[in-house]
C-alpha cells in the first residue's frame, strides 16, 4: 500500500521537475508553444492542458508505486513516460479525425464551378492582393507561420525556447485550371505544419547584427528585433508560395468583410481548413496520421495505466 508520505514525495519530485523545466522554458513560452501546436495540429490548448495534467498525475503515481515496490529505475521511468505521452497522442489523433469528418462531408468540386455548401477543392495558390517578402526566399509569399526562438541551453546543447510566434497571410485564391476560387484568409485555419515539413530556419548568432531582411520582416509583423542578441537566436519560417498546391475544405458562399465582399470559401457553420498538397494526398495522410496517433497513443496509455495499476493492486 502506498503511503501518503510516499505519494506526497512523488508529487514533490514531479513539481520539482516541472519547475526546473520552467526555468529553461518560461510560462510565456509554454503558452506560445501551445498556440503553435494548435496551429500545426488543430488541437485546442485547453485539450492539451487536460491531457498534460493527466500525464503528470500518471507519472506521479508511477513514481510513488515503484518506490513502494522497490526503487524507481530506468524501466519504471520508460513505462511511466510512455503512459504519460499516450494521452497526448490520442487527443492529437482525435483532432485529426474531426478534420477527416469535415473533409468526408464535403462535396468535391472544381475551383471554377464550386457547389453551394461545404466543399473540398484543390489547386494552385494565386495572389489576390499582392504578396509579402520573408528572409532567404526568392519572390513573395502568401502565408507564413513564424517563430522567433532563443537558445537557453547549457554548454554545447541548444534548448530553443519560443519568444514570439504567429502567422501572416495575404488574400489568396485557388485555381485548378478551371478558374480562380477566392478563399477567406480570416475564416480558414491554415495548417501549414499539419501535413508538411516545408520549413527552414534563419540563424541569428550571438553578438552579431541581425540581417536587414530579418529586421524588416520582424518589424512588419510587429515583433521586436533582438538587434545584437546576447544569446543565439533563430527565426523559423514555414511559408506558402504562389503556385503551391493546396487543399481547402469549407463552406462556399457569400463572404462580406469590412471593405471587401466576394463569393468564396470560408468557415460558415463549421471549421474551414487549408492544407498543403492535393486532395487525395491530404485524405490519405490525414487518415494515416490519425490512425497511428490514436492507436499508438491508446496503446501507450494502456501500458502506462496497466503498469501503475500493477504497483497499486496487491
The three grid cell numbers given for residue 209, joined into one nine-digit string: 547584427
88 lies in the same domain as 152: no
Same domain, 21 and 156: no
* Average pLDDT of span 241-266: 88
Average pLDDT (136-142) is 87
For position 195, what pLDDT does the model report?
44
Task: Evaluate whether 123 touches 247 at the Cβ level (below 8 Å).
Answer: no
CA distance 216 to 80: 46
Backbone dihedral angles phi then psi of residue 107, each to the nearest 5 degrees? -95, 125
Q: Are residues 125 and 254 in the same domain?
A: yes
Same domain, 62 and 198: no
> What is d(CA 195, CA 41) in angstroms, rounded to the nearest whole number?
9
Whether 45 and 68 map to the same domain: the answer is yes
Position 283 in a domain: no
User: pLDDT band for position 71 (50/70/90)?
Assistant: low
Residue 173 CB: number of other CB atoms within 10 A?
23
Quick: pLDDT tens for 147-166: 898 888 776 778 888 888 88
Question: For residues 83 and 85, what is the distance between their CA atoms, to the nearest angstrom?
Answer: 6
* Domain-embedded: residue 282: no
| 81 and 188, same domain (yes or no) | no
Domain of residue 47, residue span: 4-100+291-312
The structural domain count of the chain equals: 2
Confirm whether 284 is domain-assigned: no
Instruction: Give me the chain's average pLDDT, please.
Output: 83
Q: How confident is the model at residue 193 (pLDDT cuts 50, 70, 90)?
A: low
Is 66 part of any domain?
yes
Q: State which of 119-123, 136-140, 289-293 shows the largest mean pLDDT.
A: 119-123
Mean pLDDT throughout 218-227? 87
List 118's β-bridge partners, or say none: 251
Establish if 236 belongs to a structural domain. yes
Helices 279-312 and 45-69 cross at an angle (nearest 10°) of 30
Looking at residues 261-290, what average pLDDT do you find?
Answer: 86
More confident residue, 224 or 61: 224
- The pLDDT value recorded for residue 273 is 87
Report whether pLDDT(181) > 90: yes
For position 7, what pLDDT does the model report?
A: 74
Pairing assessment for the beta strands 107-108 and 117-127 based on DSSP bridges: parallel
Residue 295 located in a structural domain: yes
Q: Are residues 212 and 272 in the same domain?
A: yes
- Whether residues 169 and 232 share a domain: the answer is yes
3-state DSSP assignment of residue 257: strand
Q: Are residues 205 and 306 in the same domain?
A: no
The answer to whether residue 232 is domain-embedded is yes
Most confident of 3-17, 77-91, 235-249: 235-249
Indicate if 119 and 47 belong to the same structural domain. Answer: no
pLDDT at 179 over 70: yes
- Indicate whether 200 pLDDT > 50: yes
User: Same domain, yes or no, for 153 and 256?
Assistant: yes
Quick one: 148 and 8 in the same domain?
no
- Check residue 124 and give its pLDDT: 95
Average pLDDT over residues 120-134: 92
As a whole number, mean pLDDT of residues 178-191 equals 87
Most confident segment among 22-26, 158-162, 255-259, 280-284:
280-284
Position 308 in a domain:
yes
Residue 197: pLDDT over 70: no
Amino acid at each position: 500500500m502506498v503511503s501518503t508520505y510516499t505519494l506526497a514525495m512523488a508529487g514533490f519530485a514531479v513539481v520539482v521537475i516541472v519547475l526546473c523545466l520552467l526555468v529553461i522554458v518560461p510560462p510565456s513560452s509554454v503558452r506560445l508553444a501551445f498556440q503553435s501546436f494548435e496551429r500545426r495540429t488543430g488541437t485546442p490548448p485547453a485539450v492539451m492542458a487536460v491531457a498534460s495534467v493527466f500525464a503528470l498525475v500518471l507519472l506521479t503515481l508511477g513514481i510513488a508505486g515503484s518506490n513502494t515496490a522497490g526503487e524507481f529505475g530506468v524501466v519504471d521511468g520508460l513505462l511511466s513516460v510512455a503512459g504519460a505521452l499516450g494521452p497526448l497522442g490520442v487527443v492529437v489523433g482525435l483532432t485529426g479525425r474531426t478534420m477527416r469528418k469535415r473533409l468526408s462531408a464535403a462535396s468535391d468540386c472544381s475551383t471554377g464551378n464550386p457547389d453551394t455548401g461545404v466543399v473540398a477543392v484543390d489547386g494552385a495558390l494565386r495572389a489576390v492582393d499582392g504578396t509579402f517578402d520573408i528572409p532567404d526566399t526568392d519572390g513573395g509569399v502568401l502565408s507564413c507561420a513564424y517563430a522567433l526562438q532563443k537558445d537557453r541551453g547549457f554548454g554545447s546543447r541548444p534548448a530553443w525556447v519560443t519568444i514570439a510566434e504567429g502567422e501572416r497571410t495575404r488574400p489568396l485564391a485557388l485555381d485548378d485550371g478551371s478558374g480562380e476560387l477566392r478563399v477567406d484568409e480570416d475564416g480558414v485555419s491554415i495548417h501549414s505544419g499539419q501535413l508538411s515539413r516545408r520549413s527552414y530556419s534563419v540563424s541569428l548568432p550571438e553578438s552579431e547584427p541581425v540581417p536587414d531582411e530579418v529586421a524588416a520582416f520582424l518589424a512588419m509583423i510587429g515583433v521586436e528585433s533582438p538587434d545584437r542578441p546576447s544569446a543565439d537566436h533563430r527565426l523559423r519560417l514555414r511559408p506558402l508560395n504562389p503556385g503551391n498546391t493546396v487543399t481547402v475544405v469549407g463552406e462556399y458562399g457569400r463572404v462580406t468583410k469590412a471593405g471587401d465582399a466576394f463569393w468564396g470559401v470560408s468557415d460558415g457553420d463549421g471549421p474551414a481548413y487549408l492544407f498543403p498538397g492535393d486532395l487525395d494526398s491530404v485524405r490519405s495522410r490525414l487518415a494515416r496520421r490519425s490512425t497511428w496517433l490514436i492507436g499508438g497513443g491508446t496503446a501507450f496509455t494502456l501500458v502506462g495505466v496497466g503498469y501503475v495499476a500493477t504497483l497499486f493492486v496487491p
